[in-house]
Structure 1
Amino acid sequence: MLWAVFNLNLPEPEEMREIILDYGWAGFLVFLGITAAIAITPIPITVPALVAGSLYGLIIGTLLSVSGVMLGSWIGYWLARALGQRLTFQLLGSHGSLVENYLRNAGFWAMCTVRLMPGLPYWPVNYGAGALGIKQYAFISATLLASIPGQVSLVALGAFATNPSVFRGAIVIVAWIAVVALTWVSYRYWSRTKRQSEEVDGTRGTDG
């Protein structure tokens, strides 16, 4: 991952468009591969989503972008399961304590909260969830729900840049409102669940 960050230069959106278009009908497979590969590294996944919107439009672009993100996230999850908790958290560095605070003994709503948290990339969440043994169903379902609004907004932005319209601009705004709303809802559920869990643990400790 460190080698990828310092040695791989992610193409600009226009350059990536040309690379994908050169593959003709197989371009969507190339796009999925690029997006999945980026999702398992610290490289931001913004550029592929913008390219998806400019190449494939809002609907197909969103389907492809979300599919690539889900595939890469799932691969990262299982890589962490294979590496083990100690080595994975060494790789996470400064992100490790934040991810562990939210995901230790956590489930669906905690996954949503961390996935939606501003400034926290995808890759530490993928690896942290795998290392901490988050159930695969909770990981996949929360990743899907939390990823859709952000991916829609980025894909719509790419489509808007290629072919501006009021509709595409409105989709960007609505998608980001959905991100904020989901973050608030998931955080409330997570914090309430965590508080109840701590109260139960405290009661057990008193009884003991």
Structure 2
Amino acid sequence: MPETAKHPPSTAPGAPDRERAGMPWGSVLRNLALVLTVLVMVWLVLHVKLPSVGTLQAEIAELGAWGPLLFIALYAVVAVTPIPVTIMAVAGGMIFGLPVGTALSLLGVVIGCYGGYGIARVLGRETVMRLLGSHAEVVEDRLGDGGFYAVCTLRLIPGIPYWPVNYGSGALGITSRDFLLATVLSALPGQLSLVAVGTFLAAPTLWNGIAVGLSWAAVIVLTLVAYRRWRAARR
């Protein structure tokens, strides 16, 4: 007696699908993180107003030895957000003078920049590119195949804020070592030039004026050097 042919199970359209795709929780969480991050940044930009230099100077003086720590903490928070860091560096020069103001400003900006870098590593590339908005194309073009010199170049070019470089570096796979080293080395001349401006505003002496000129000249020269090295590295 011949065997009865075995038929495969029904795959009619009405049959229940036993292998339904699960909920893409990774995508949902990343989009939720994007929304929350954007909302927090928008709120900070619209509602958080940095105190005037005079108010900041008085508050730091009242804290005594804790004052520099407050300045570093406030600077780090500003560096994580789209709020421009310029006023903090200029305030550092007016309050602490050139050497101390530069050291404190550099500490604050590096801590804040690394905080943004870490946030971007958590959010992921797709989410961060959406977050960067109009800055995404420039950041991706410069950092996509770059590394140390790419971060240096973007840090030094006037007009490019710090925060897109921080988030772009984390999203596009710049190593932590390259990011930190490039940030320290390239942020130093920029911070020095801004702190020098603050120092000159507080005490418009000849030496402080020379410091402003020399520091800005250093920024221009280093920008050209970093740009050439970055172009050579991409060839």
Q: Please, which of 51, 56, 64 is the counterpart of residue 11 of structure 1?
A: 51
Q: Please, which of 116, 119, 123 is the counterpart of residue 83 of structure 1?
A: 123
2:149 aligned residue: 109
1:96 paired to 2:125? no
In 2, the alpha carbon distance for the partners of 1:70 and 1:80 equals: 15
Give the Å deviation of 1:47: 1.4
In 2, the alpha carbon distance for the partners of 1:153 and 1:100 equals: 27
Mapping 1:48-197, distance limit 5 Å = 48-194=88-234, 196=235
Give the Å deviation of 1:122: 0.2
The one-letter amino acid paired with 1:191 is R
In 2, the alpha carbon distance for the partners of 1:150 and 1:169 equals: 16
Q: Deviation per CA, 1:164-204, whole angstroms, max 9, x where unpaired?
A: 2111111111111111111111111111221x2xxxxxxxx
Any gaps of 5 or more consecutive residues in structure 1? 197-208
| 8 Å Cα contact 1:37/1:72 also seen in 2 | yes
Give the Å deviation of 1:134: 0.0
Give the Å deviation of 1:49: 1.1
The one-letter amino acid paired with 2:121 is R
| 8 Å Cα contact 2:78/2:112 also seen in 1 | yes
In 1, the alpha carbon distance for the partners of 2:153 and 2:71 equals: 28
Higher helix fraction: Structure 1 or Structure 2? 1
In 2, the alpha carbon distance for the partners of 1:185 and 1:156 equals: 22
Where 2:50 maps in the other structure, the secondary structure is coil
Where 1:22 maps in the other structure, the secondary structure is helix
Where 1:11 maps in the other structure, the secondary structure is coil
Give the Å deviation of 1:12: 2.0
| 8 Å Cα contact 2:196/2:215 also seen in 1 | no
Which protein is bigger by CA-based radius of gyration?
2
| 8 Å Cα contact 1:12/1:47 also seen in 2 | no
- % same residue: 46
Q: Deviation per CA, 1:79-115, whole angstroms, max 9, x where unpaired?
A: 1001111111111110011100000121111111111
Any gaps of 5 or more consecutive residues in structure 2? 1-40
Where 1:31 maps in the other structure, the secondary structure is helix
Count of paired positions: 195
